[in-house]
Amino acid sequence: MNKILVLHGPNLNLLGTREPEIYGRTTLYDINAMIAARAKEAGIAVDFLQSNHEGVLVDTLQEVPKKGYAFVILNAAAFTHYSVAIRDAIAAIPTPVIEVHLSNIHQREEFRHHSVISPVVMGQIAGFGEDSYMAALEVVIRRLSEARS
């Protein structure tokens, strides 16, 4: 069975509990449950990890090829905007990574407009709340079914 990794960066564990006007009321647990349900329907296994620590995210990305994940869906959160370490870790693996954001980072403060990881990911989906993750998952499902046929 194909498997993928969904990786959530710093503070995303707070989703649904603070700043609902920006990030909504859906919790990270809810998002993971939605992803897991759709992935199961499509016959894809999913692992999830949330970390507030840059090094843990880098270590996890480095392990991706060894663990055999077909894709990574990544919300690097604030690290998106400045972590060269995460960018380098993505660039060092052959696995396609899809960058997701709940909010439309391009409509927000200037410092959020730039993503240092965008040049090394497959593509970016931003601004659709939890549907950003679901849209990324649909891309994965289509790519994996194309690869099978």
Q: Which residues bind ligand CA2 (CB under 6 A)?
A: 11-12, 14-15, 18-19, 23, 75, 77-78, 80, 101-103, 105, 112
Give catalytic status of residue 113 as yes or no: no
Q: Catalytic pick from 8, 53, 69, 101?
A: 101
DSSP, collapsed to helix, strand or coil, labels residue 15 as coil
Q: Measured from the CB of residue 68, what is the shortest distance to ligand CA2 in angstroms?
A: 27
Query: Residue 24 has which token pair?
Result: 């909504």
23 is catalytic: yes
- Give the separation between CA 55 and CA 148, rounded to whole angstroms: 34
CB of 130 to ligand CA2, least distance (A): 10
CB of 63 to ligand CA2, least distance (A): 22
Q: Which residues lie closer than 8 Å to 146 by C-beta, 6 or more apart?
A: none
Q: For 21, phi and psi rounded to 5 degrees? A: -65, -25
Distance CA 136, CA 133 (A): 5
Task: List the catalytic residue out of 8, 23, 69, 133.
Answer: 23
Between 95 and 103, CB nearer to ligand CA2? 103
Close Cβ partners of 102 (under 8 Å, ≥ 6 residues apart): 15, 23, 24, 75, 126, 127, 128, 129, 130, 132
Whichever of 12 and 116 has its CB closer to ligand CA2, that residue is 12
Smaller CB separation from ligand CA2, 57 or 102: 102
Please say which residue, 23 or 71, places its beta carbon nearer to ligand CA2: 23
Q: Which residues are catalytic?
A: 23, 101
